[in-house]
């Protein structure tokens, strides 16, 4: 029950770290509280609305009543399963914009500029461009993570991209390449019809070798002696014991559970820890602070033609899709159905995209309930860089108690302005000629929602999390009092302890967070092994030559 390294959490970053450390000949013990990811609800991409709503796979967190959303408590799913949130997410693959990582470096995450992280994005992926071309110098060809594109057979996928072009926006054939801005195909972590989670990509191959072991247990705290992490206290089958790490403990337990674990271990804001009777080992006021997320609205349009996925939205249809997937690995079940995307700028003077679109050829809610109008389609849209910040704090010193989560969503006037812009720009896209054969009427928000007050009321009532929490163990320079880890992911003030997951992001990246979370695991592994970082690659991203003067 000991190893060179203990990794807490078999999620997006943790699995990548385990794979790289084991490959380098180190012994690794991965500790995961959740169970197996073998079920069809996880492995079938088209079933993505199920695992997120299943207590067996999800920690079941909810926010505190959000003061700017009328006191609503929003769901905050996090994967409690092998593969972590990569086993319950929407499988959308977005690296983030080059400028996001340059901002990280400027804010104190030295060595994490885009030129530094691009080689790690390339190392982790095997990119299948589906014959669409794209610039291979930006993409990886032999990494563990397969990245594919849906077949885009439904004419609505092309209509969405055409409508973007007709509205005056750019097209892009690869938003993960040089040019994020524009409309084009969306990428997914799906391979041969299966969800390609980090469990499938990294953990299973690592477990086949002699160096990596998986332990199912609940981690109560990091054990620290004389300022050094020496292991973790675990609970298994009602018994509490300590597992020792010869070299280091790596916490990769999510933007919610990583700060919670640090605080339970005596690392965090001293006054807050004292309130709960926890001895302070390192007073780090930034632990649990800087919590960020993306919010989104889905805008739904009724379809004139019966060509949407609604035709499968009944017991017989779902059975048919499931049976076809089980037998052939093909059909609607083999895709997450997010097959077209868009990234645009909200205004002139915005240098790079700050609004994202996911397009879906059905009008359906996240909990899997279809719109009452039957056939329809929707675009999920929301701003990428909200100025609002929240916090994860302890509810009690009991390790089993869920933490208190308050995102403080929509706390700034800027947030409201951004959402009004998102809704109006989306309406304009759906009003283009490309949608004329398909669009009947707007289901949501509905034609009666027009004024700023009406739009704000709709947002307050209907906005949902995109499930992209991050930032709660922020990376920065050692002298920065708000930083929790240094640029090598080492916890400041404690030896032998690192954090590597989305909690270390200084600021949220553009788009979905799974890809940058895996990249953090890949890069952290080299820091842990004491290797020189991969050589920088100075690929320059496309920035609109008109960004100062034009929105598109």
Residues belonging to the binding site for FAD are 81, 89-92, 219
Q: From the centroid of its chain, how far is CA 120?
A: 17
Q: At what angle do helices 114-124 and 98-106 cross, to 10 degrees?
A: 130
Residue 92: closest CA among 339, 331, 329: 339
φ, ψ for residue 551 (rounded to 5)?
Answer: -80, -25
Q: Look at the block and give the residue holding tokens 């240098």.
A: 351
Residues 6+ apart with CB under 8 A from 343: 97, 172, 175, 180, 181, 182, 353, 355, 356, 357, 510, 511
Contacts of 375 (CB under 8 A, 6+ apart): 302, 303, 305, 306, 307, 308, 310, 311, 363
H helix intervals, 152-215: 155-166, 198, 204-208
Q: Measured between alpha carbons, how far is residue 27 from residues 17, 90, 527 in Å?
A: 12, 32, 16
Residues 204 and 274: their CA atoms lie apart, in Å, by 41
Of 68, 146, 294, 468, the active-site residue reads 468
Which segments of 406-451 does DSSP mark as H helices, in order?
Answer: 413-430
User: What is the C-alpha to C-alpha distance for residues 359 and 520, in angstroms, rounded to an integer?
Assistant: 27
Beta bridge mates, 239: 236
Written as one string, the DSSP assignment of 198-241 is HIIIIIHHHHHSSSEEEEE-EEEEEEEETTEEEEEEEEETTEEE
Burial status of residue 60 (CB atoms within 10 A of its CB: 0-12, 13-18, 19 or more): middle
Three-state SS for 461?
helix
User: Catalytic: 468?
Assistant: yes
CA–CA separation, 454 vs 371, rounded Å?
Answer: 21
List the beta bridge partners of residue 390.
291
Residues comprising the binding site?
81, 89-92, 219
Q: Evaluate whether 435 touches 94 at the Cβ level (below 8 Å).
A: no
3-state secondary structure of 405: strand
Catalytic residue annotation: 468
């Amino acid at each position: 029950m000991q190893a060179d390294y203990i990794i807490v959490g078999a999620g997006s970053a943790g699995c990548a770290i385990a794979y790289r450390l084991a490959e380098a000949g180190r012994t690794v013990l991965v500790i995961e509280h959740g169970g197996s990811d073998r079920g069809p609800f996880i492995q079938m991409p088209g079933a993505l609305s199920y695992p997120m709503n299943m207590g067996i796979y999800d920690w079941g967190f909810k926010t505190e009543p959000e003061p700017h959303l009328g006191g609503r408590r929003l769901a905050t799913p996090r994967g409690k399963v092998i593969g972590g949130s990569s086993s319950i997410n929407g499988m959308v693959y977005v690296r983030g914009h080059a400028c996001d990582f340059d901002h990280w470096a400027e804010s104190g995450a030295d060595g994490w500029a885009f030129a530094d992280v691009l080689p790690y994005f390339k190392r982790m992926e095997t990119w299948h461009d589906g014959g669409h071309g794209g610039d291979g110098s930006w993409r990886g060809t032999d990494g563990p993570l397969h990245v594919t594109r849906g077949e885009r057979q439904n004419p609505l996928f092309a209509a969405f991209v055409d409508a973007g072009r007709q509205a005056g926006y750019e097209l892009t054939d690869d938003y993960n390449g040089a040019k994020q801005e524009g409309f084009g195909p969306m990428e997914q972590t799906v391979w041969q019809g299966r969800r390609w989670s980090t469990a499938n990509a990294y953990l299973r191959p690592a477990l086949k070798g002699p160096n990596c072991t998986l332990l199912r247990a609940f981690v109560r705290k990091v054990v620290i002696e004389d300022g050094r992490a020496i292991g973790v206290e675990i609970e298994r089958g009602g018994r509490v014991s300590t597992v020792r790490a010869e070299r280091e403990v790596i916490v990769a337990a999510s933007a919610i559970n990583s700060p919670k674990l640090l605080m339970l271990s005596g690392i965090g804001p001293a006054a807050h820890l004292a309130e709960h009777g926890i001895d302070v080992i390192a007073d780090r006021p930034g632990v649990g602070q800087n919590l960020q997320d993306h919010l989104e609205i889905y805008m739904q349009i009724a379809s004139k033609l019966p060509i949407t996925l609604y035709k499968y939205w009944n017991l017989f249809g779902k059975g048919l899709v499931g049976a076809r997937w089980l037998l052939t690995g093909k059909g609607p079940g083999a895709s997450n159905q997010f097959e077209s995307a868009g990234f645009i700028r909200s205004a002139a003077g915005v240098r790079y995209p700050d609004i994202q679109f996911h397009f879906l050829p059905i009008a359906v809610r996240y909990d899997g309930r279809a719109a009452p109008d039957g056939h329809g389609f929707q675009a999920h849209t929301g701003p990428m860089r909200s100025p609002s910040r929240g916090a994860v704090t302890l509810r009690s010193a009991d390790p089993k108690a869920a933490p208190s989560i308050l995102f403080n969503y929509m706390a700034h006037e800027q947030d409201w302005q951004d959402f009004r812009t998102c809704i109006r720009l989306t309406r304009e896209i759906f009003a283009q000629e490309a949608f004329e054969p398909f669009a009947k009427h707007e289901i949501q928000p509905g034609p009666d929602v027009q004024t700023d007050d009406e739009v704000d009321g709709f947002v307050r009532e209907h906005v949902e999390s995109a499930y992209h929490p991050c930032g709660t163990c922020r990376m920065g320079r050692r002298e920065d009092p708000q930083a929790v880890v240094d640029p090598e992911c080492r916890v400041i003030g404690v030896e032998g302890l690192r954090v590597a997951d989305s909690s270390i992001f200084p600021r949220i990246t553009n788009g979905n967070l799974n890809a940058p979370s895996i990249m953090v695991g890949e890069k952290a592994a080299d820091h842990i092994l004491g290797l020189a970082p991969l050589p920088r690659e100075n690929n320059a991203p496309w920035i609109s030559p008109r960004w100062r003067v034009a929105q598109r």
